[in-house]
């Protein structure tokens, strides 16, 4: 079964074309705010260069957040449209789990983070067990200091923090790596994906309101 996985919820534009347990092709690009412009052309390019008709796609998987409010919405909207138009099932996966999965073979404890400004992050803490990511702290908006402290309470082992920008953590228990340097599409087969029951009512996992809305408060 051929599937697309789409993620536009961070600065990375990710599109993975797969069939069963094999990666056919993928697109990974660090961009700023052009997801809406680049998503469909990049998706079409993957289909064209692999000589696949979009009608042969039988499943859509989308990263449903948390992340950039606009970015998450773009990916989910396109995924819902494809699911409805092609009459195929839609699945969702955590953006943070997608970030963490490339590091499953590199650490026992993995903490993916997305900058949420003002010292806050969208983050989670996972323990790796049999190549599966087990959530110890759920996807949530945390102060970065709070999330690090929670991890120290959870384990004395080394914790691998993974993100998109440059981060300095003055604590030897934590090591930081950039996702863009280690992205491994093959590891997506270890993700915990769930089927969306109602495509029309499905909404992203924003975890907080858009900045424009927050500024009105």
Q: In what order do the strands lie in the sheet with 159-163?
A: 132-143, 120-129, 109-115, 159-163, 174-178
Q: What is the pLDDT of residues 85-134, one digit of tens each?
A: 999 999 999 999 999 999 999 999 999 999 999 999 999 999 999 999 99
Same domain, 20 and 39: yes
Same domain, 162 and 104: yes
How many domains are contained in the chain? 2
Give the rounded percent of residues in the chain with a pLDDT score beyond 70.
95
* Structural domain for 83, as ranges: 2-94+192-215
Q: ω into residue 66 within 30 of 0, thus cis?
A: yes
Tokens of 38: 């680049």
- The CATH number covering residue 80 comes to 3.30.420.40
Same domain, 77 and 109: no
User: pTM of this prediction?
Assistant: 0.93
Same domain, 118 and 146: yes
Q: What is the pLDDT of residues 153-189, one digit of tens each?
A: 999 999 999 999 899 999 999 999 999 999 999 999 9
Same domain, 89 and 26: yes
Same domain, 207 and 127: no
What band does 213 get if pLDDT is binned at 50, 70 and 90?
Answer: very low
Residue listed under structure tokens 């412009």: 37
Q: Does the residue 187 lie in any domain?
A: no
Q: Does the residue 208 lie in any domain?
A: yes
CB under 8 Å to 50, separation ≥6 — which residues? 17, 24, 25
In the predicted model, is pLDDT for residue 215 greater than 50? no
**Model pLDDT, residue 60:** 99
Same domain, 133 and 149: yes
């Amino acid at each position: 079964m051929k599937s697309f996985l789409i993620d536009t919820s961070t600065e990375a534009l990710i599109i993975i074309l797969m069939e069963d347990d094999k990666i056919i092709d993928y697109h990974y690009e660090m961009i700023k705010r052009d997801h809406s412009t680049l998503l469909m052309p990049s998706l079409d390019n993957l289909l064209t260069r692999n000589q696949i008709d979009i009608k042969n796609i039988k499943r859509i998987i989308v990263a449903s957040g948390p992340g950039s409010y606009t970015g998450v919405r773009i990916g989910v909207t396109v995924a819902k449209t494809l699911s409805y138009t092609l009459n195929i099932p839609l699945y969702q996966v955590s953006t943070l789990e997608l970030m963490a999965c490339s590091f499953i073979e590199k650490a026992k404890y993995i903490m993916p983070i997305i900058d949420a400004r003002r010292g806050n992050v969208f983050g989670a803490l996972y323990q790796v067990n049999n190549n599966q990511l087990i959530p110890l702290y759920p996807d949530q908006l945390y102060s970065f200091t709070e999330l690090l402290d929670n991890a120290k309470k959870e384990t004395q082992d080394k914790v691998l923090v993974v993100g998109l920008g440059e981060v300095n953590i003055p604590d030897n228990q934590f090591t930081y790596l950039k996702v863009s340097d280690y992205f491994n599409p093959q590891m997506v087969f270890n993700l915990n994906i769930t089927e969306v029951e109602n495509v029309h009512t499905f909404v992203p996992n924003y975890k907080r309101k858009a900045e424009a809305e927050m500024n009105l408060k």
